């Protein structure tokens, strides 16, 4: 308990300072070491328009942090013998074979080397919320690259590619958001992991501020993967009908308390509080690199994206955001604008960082996420 108090106090002081200095608006951090929660902190304002403060129950858009939970849903199906990573996606989703995609495997999708990165050219925010329309259009479209040929980050399509395989292999054929709720969130006590919110929690969501984010213009692979009309910005993701939809690559609305429980399950080898979702051996395998690990990714403007084979980013110390865990054995996932969560199996440390001041960070010493990670490790 003394160690937990020490860590919690150090993080709280840091969050208060970040808000006072204008580097954050509203922010939450939660962390676990083994089976003990050691951090539950927050600071700042959830809604600058009304002055509503952040508290422990405030919810945040976490964007691509969502992909870690989505990938885990698929790993649960593999754990149950319902999915083979090396099987073609068409084994489970026959319509996906259209336009020359019959050789795309589940493993290709998890490692972002499927080539199926493009969103439909006629997508709108409204159509993006229609699961069947999105899956139908993705099934019809050709890949941008041959399967397995190169890194091609599936910024938004990842969610429907993985989610539809999970849905079709679920004996109950539950909608993907319901599957996550019943198979991940509720068993872990992570009750605020939402893929499609109910109306009653909307008042708890923090308002986003994206003034510190560069918006890429059209005419590049990023905009094929993430069209401007559905860009990862406050609009459209603060529209009520978008919040209520299951958009599993980028639409998660979490708080740090619930998200940290999810990462703690991974940091503890697939279990938390006596609830086991995945085998220890399977979780240990997730830190392995994917094919084309060192590729320049066209969706990331030719930068290297340190993704493992299993759908998680791998931590390290080179640059934000992967500097946050400071370990190449750590599993992590950043989200647009600066959210992140990670699990460090060597320390059994799990951290969730949620906030509403979206930013692009290049230098480690300017990165709130890395600073918080360093404060936690130093206090421990």
Dump the DSSP string for 9-25: HHHHHHHHHHHHTTS-S
Residue stretches of the chain with pLDDT short of 50 = none
pLDDT at 319: 87
Q: Specify the pTM.
A: 0.98
The H-assigned helical ranges of the chain are: 2-20, 66-79, 106-110, 125-128, 131-140, 157-169, 176-180, 186-188, 221-225, 234-237, 240-243, 256-267, 280-285, 368-379
- Strands 296-297, 303-304: pairing is antiparallel
Helix axes 66-79, 157-169, angle to 10 degrees: 30
- Residue whose C-alpha is closest to residue 18's, from 378, 379, 369: 369
Name the DSSP class of 274: T
Of how many residues is the chain composed?
Answer: 380
pLDDT confidence of residue 63: 98
Closest C-alpha to 33, from 209, 272, 229, 216: 272
Taking phi first (over 0 means left), then psi (-120 to 50 degrees means alpha), and beta for anything else, what does residue 112 get?
left
pLDDT at 4: 87
pLDDT value, residue 378:
97
**Residue written as token pair 């600071």:** 43
Q: Is the dihedral of CA 95, 226, 70, 194 positive or negative?
A: negative
Give the integer Cα–Cα distance in Å for 338 and 361: 8
């Amino acid at each position: 308990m003394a160690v937990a108090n020490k860590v919690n106090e150090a993080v709280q002081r840091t969050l208060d300072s970040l808000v006072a200095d204008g580097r954050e608006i509203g922010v939450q951090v939660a962390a676990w070491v083994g089976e003990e929660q050691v951090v539950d902190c927050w600071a700042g304002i959830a809604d600058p328009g009304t002055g509503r403060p952040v508290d422990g129950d405030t919810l945040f858009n976490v964007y691509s942090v969502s992909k870690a939970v989505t990938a885990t849903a698929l790993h649960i199906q593999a754990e149950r013998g319902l999915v083979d990573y090396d099987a073609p996606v068409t084994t489970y989703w026959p319509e996906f074979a259209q336009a020359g995609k019959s050789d795309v495997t589940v493993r290709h999708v998890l490692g972002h080397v499927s080539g199926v990165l493009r969103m439909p050219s006629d997508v709108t925010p409204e159509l993006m919320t229609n699961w069947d329309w999105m899956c139908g259009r993705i099934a019809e479209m050709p890949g941008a690259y041959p399967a397995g040929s190169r890194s091609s980050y599936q910024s938004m399509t990842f969610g429907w590619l993985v989610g539809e395989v999970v849905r079709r292999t679920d004996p109950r054929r539950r909608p993907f958001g319901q599957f996550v709720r019943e198979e991940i969130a509720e068993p872990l006590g992570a009750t605020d992991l939402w893929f499609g919110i109910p109306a009653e929690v909307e008042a708890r969501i923090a308002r986003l501020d994206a003034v510190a984010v560069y918006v890429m213009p059209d005419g590049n692979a990023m905009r094929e993967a993430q069209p401007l009309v559905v860009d990862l910005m406050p609009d459209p993701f603060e529209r009520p009908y978008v919040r209520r939809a299951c958009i599993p690559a980028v639409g998660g609305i979490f708080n740090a308390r619930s998200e940290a429980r999810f990462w703690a399950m991974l940091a503890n080898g697939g279990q938390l509080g006596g609830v086991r979702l995945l085998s220890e051996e399977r979780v240990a395998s997730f830190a392995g690199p994917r094919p084309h690990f060192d590729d320049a990714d066209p969706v990331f403007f030719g930068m290297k994206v340190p993704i493992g084979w299993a759908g998680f980013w791998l931590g390290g110390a080179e640059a934000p955001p992967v500097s946050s865990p400071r370990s190449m054995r750590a599993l992590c996932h950043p989200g647009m604008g600066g959210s992140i969560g990670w699990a460090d199996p060597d320390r059994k440390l799990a951290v969730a960082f949620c906030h509403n001041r979206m930013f692009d960070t290049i230098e480690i010493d300017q990165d709130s996420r890395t600073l918080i990670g360093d404060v936690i490790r130093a206090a421990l």
